[in-house]
Amino acid sequence: MTIFTLILAIANLLLFLSKASSIDTLTLSQSLPDGTTLVSKDETFELGFFSLRNSTNRYLGIWFKNIPVKTVVWVANRDYPLKDNSTKLIITNDGNLVLLTKNNKVQWSTNTTTKASRPILQLLNTGNLVLRNDNEDNKNNNKSSNNNNEDRFLWQSFDYPSDTLLPGMKLGWYRKTGLNRRVIAWKNWDDPSPGNFSWGITFDSNPEMVLWKGSFKYHRSGPWNGIRFSGAFGGSNRLSTHPLFVYKLINNDDEVYYSYSLTNKSVISIVVMNQTLLRRQRNIWIPENGTWRLFQTAPRDICDTYNPCGSYANCMVDSSPVCQCLEGFKPKSLDTMEQGCVRSEPWSCKVEGRDGFRKFVGLKFPDTTHSWINKSMTLEECKVKCWENCSCTAYANLDIRGAGSGCSIWFGDLIDLKVVSQSGQYLYIRMADSQTDAKDAHKKKELLLIGTIVPPIVLVILLAIFYSYKRKRKYEEENVSVVKKDEAGGQEHSMELPLFDLATLVNATNNFSTDNKLGQGGFGPVYKVN
Ligand SMILES: *[C@@H]1O[C@H](CO)[C@@H](O)[C@H](O)[C@H]1NC(C)=O
Ligand SMILES: *[C@@H]1O[C@H](CO)[C@@H](O)[C@H](O)[C@H]1NC(C)=O
Ligand SMILES: *[C@@H]1O[C@H](CO)[C@@H](O)[C@H](O)[C@H]1NC(C)=O
Ligand SMILES: *[C@@H]1O[C@H](CO)[C@@H](O)[C@H](O)[C@H]1NC(C)=O
Ligand SMILES: *[C@@H]1O[C@H](CO)[C@@H](O)[C@H](O)[C@H]1NC(C)=O
Ligand SMILES: *[C@@H]1O[C@H](CO)[C@@H](O)[C@H](O)[C@H]1NC(C)=O
Ligand SMILES: *[C@@H]1O[C@H](CO)[C@@H](O)[C@H](O)[C@H]1NC(C)=O
Ligand SMILES: *[C@@H]1O[C@H](CO)[C@@H](O)[C@H](O)[C@H]1NC(C)=O
Ligand SMILES: *[C@@H]1O[C@H](CO)[C@@H](O)[C@H](O)[C@H]1NC(C)=O
Ligand SMILES: *[C@@H]1O[C@H](CO)[C@@H](O)[C@H](O)[C@H]1NC(C)=O
């Protein structure tokens, strides 16, 4: 044997050893001592023991193997720090993961009760650490397959998230067992034990994502409207349209959960809870710069926190005051808006002329704690359902896709509202009839017209001015717009009237086209401007 072949053999052996040291599974007879790691097949994730900065505590956790900034995405023993580096991870015969000290003291255990036969531990490419029966793998001896079929797992780390939501992880409930997967921030960056800032899904009839500060709601996504969460910005907002992310909310008899995935598998992105800032942050890894880039954050601003303005109020960051009552509502008290708003005119349940619904456009749907849904009802059935129950205060389509479907109704005061522009959502709020019915609006208008002795063209001018003023005002305030085109509630406003020349009017009314004609008053036709 020449020196060369010997070197080759040694090199091969080293290669073999280095390959062998990077394994993704652990069997019953093996253990994982401090200092060794498991690595997922595609080498994305690594499981092992680690310490944080100047603390000597040891933790078992999972981090990205190929990211120079150590980013721990899961911690096993976040509540049970290890005091030295003599601990090892083992699998027990009954199918549990256990952290054992050198004195054979159990420091942490998975505590599952499922039946196991020859359990093995595997770190999957998704970052999921799973315990499963070994024989399951014999059926499907395919090295490249990395199936994430949950039924096969005795236990999985994805069911016990730490502070990070990875693509494919489920946030929410498994109804059968009552398992609630929540993401909870680290206490601080030197201590992975649970802080008091958490993220989860409510278990109400109409689930929504909520950030909690302790036991208080801190941010609410709004219920899912078939396309996105109702509080997410629509239209041009990159959160709902960015091609990199696919979001979903599943709500069926077995489970209710949120999860997201990435369309480009070579991009690395996580959602992490930041206790110091009280923000949920979505980060993307930028390899060129060797840093995480903040992509999205929640809550974004004061109006994105939970219910800053009280009931029936709209929150607008750029306006002063920030809180404004919805149309048809007035402040509960005059000195401060903080207590929210009440109806300007009270309604009386099922009393003809004092009970109806007013349509609001683009509102984030109210808190769903006191609500009820039906997936198959039409909007008309929904309206009837709401009308028949005197505690019902609003209704809407559950799913806004297409012409809209399903029924969502709310009881009691509506809280945590906000205008979300271009959201395509309509909310029907129960109010005194006089403010809701289109026919009534017409009547009101005609009364006004009859009482005004002016030539028809002046009427047109007045209305044109009124509508253009109203539009401008709406645009400026980004206020709730009431869809009814001929809604006339704003006529109480006194205003200084600017003058328009005929050309402007011809232009604004499409040469007095019939399309723009709203109706015929006692003194002539009435047009709307384009
Ligand atoms: C374990 O800790 C001891 C003392 O702190 C240290 O000397 C030793 O190198 C450590 N071993 C490993 C594998 O980290
Ligand atoms: C960790 O180190 C920082 C400065 O490096 C120091 O201010 C802090 O007190 C240390 N924390 C602990 C727990 O030792
Ligand atoms: C497992 O059960 C033991 C005993 O009931 C308990 O002390 C421990 O906190 C549990 N461990 C986990 C990780 O829940
Ligand atoms: C192994 O699994 C991969 C992906 O699931 C599949 O494309 C491939 O055909 C499988 N190979 C065999 C031999 O079954
Ligand atoms: C949350 O924890 C921080 C620091 O640990 C504390 O200052 C704050 O008061 C806590 N908040 C609640 C609502 O418990
Ligand atoms: C996926 O992301 C990588 C890294 O950012 C990029 O180089 C690649 O072009 C992307 N692929 C697609 C199909 O967008
Ligand atoms: C929390 O957010 C701040 C500001 O964006 C950032 O500097 C810090 O690194 C974040 N913490 C973590 C661990 O991401
Ligand atoms: C990398 O950093 C530079 C300078 O900080 C910045 O201009 C650039 O946009 C960053 N690249 C990406 C992809 O974010
Ligand atoms: C939902 O509405 C449909 C149609 O009105 C009705 O048949 C069904 O019983 C309702 N379901 C529930 C749970 O109320
Ligand atoms: C109205 O709805 C509430 C809440 O679901 C319910 O408790 C109450 O019984 C309903 N009232 C009527 C008259 O149906």
pLDDT digits (tens, 9 = 90+) for 230-267: 887 644 444 445 788 888 999 998 999 999 999 999 99
Angle, CA of 35, 82 and 45, to the nearest 5°:
45
Q: Which residues contact 332 (CB under 8 A, 6 or more apart)?
A: 310, 339, 340, 341, 342
pLDDT recorded at residue 21: 54
Q: Which span out of 4-8, 393-397, 419-423 was modeled with the highest average pLDDT?
A: 393-397
Task: Determine the residue type at 449.
Answer: L
pLDDT recorded at residue 112: 86
- Counting residues of the chain whose pLDDT is more than 90, the rounded percentage is 49
Quote the CA–CA distance of 436 and 438 in Å, as a whole number. Answer: 7
The pLDDT of residue 153 is above 50: yes
Q: Which residues contact 59 (CB under 8 A, 6 or more apart)?
A: 49, 50, 51, 52, 72, 75, 76, 77, 78, 81, 82, 192
Strand partners, 250: 257
The atom number, within ligand 9, closest to the CA of 374 reads 1
Task: Locate 476 and state its tokens.
Answer: 């400026």
Query: Which of 286, 289, 291, 293 to mutate for ligand 8's pocket (most ligand atoms within 8 Å of CB)?
Result: 289
The CB-side HSE value for 180 (13 A sphere, CA atoms) comes to 11
**In which band, very low, low, confident or very high, does the pLDDT at 464 lie, cut at 50, 70 and 90?**
low
DSSP result, 188-219? ETTEEEEEEEEEEE--SSS-EEEEEETTEEEE
Average pLDDT, the chain: 79
pLDDT recorded at residue 503: 52
Q: Which residue has the higher pLDDT, 408 or 488?
A: 408
Task: Indicate if ligand 5 lies below 6 Å from the C-beta of 193.
Answer: no
Ligand nearest to the CA of 376: 9
Segment 444-459 mean pLDDT? 43
Other Cβ atoms within 10 Å of 162 Cβ, number: 22
Q: Are 449 and 459 in contact (CB under 8 A)?
A: yes
493, burial (CB in 10 Å: exposed 0-12, middle 13-18, buried 19+)? exposed
Domains of the chain are 16-157 (2.90.10.10), 161-300 (no CATH), 313-441 (no CATH), 494-530 (no CATH)
The atom number, within ligand 8, closest to the CA of 286 reads 13
Segment 202-228 mean pLDDT? 92
pLDDT recorded at residue 242: 72
pLDDT recorded at residue 319: 83
- What distance in angstroms lies between residue 280's CA and the mean position of ligand 5's atoms? 16
Nearest CA to ligand 8 atom 7: 289
DSSP H/E element including 315: strand 313-315
The pLDDT of residue 273 is above 70: yes
Task: Record the pTM.
Answer: 0.76
Cα–Cα distances (Å) from 58 to 38, 84, 193, 469, in that order, read: 17, 7, 12, 66
Q: Which residue has the higher pLDDT, 154 or 453?
A: 154
Q: Are 30 and 120 in contact (CB under 8 A)?
A: no
pLDDT recorded at residue 413: 94
Quote the CA–CA distance of 60 and 169 in Å, as a whole number. Answer: 19
Ligand nearest to the CA of 384: 9
The pLDDT of residue 187 is above 70: yes
Quote the CA–CA distance of 129 and 42 in Å, as a whole number. Answer: 14
The pLDDT of residue 518 is above 90: no
pLDDT digits (tens, 9 = 90+) for 299-309: 988 889 999 99
Segment 423-451 mean pLDDT? 59
Task: Locate 165 and state its tokens.
Answer: 């939501």
Segment 74-96 mean pLDDT? 93
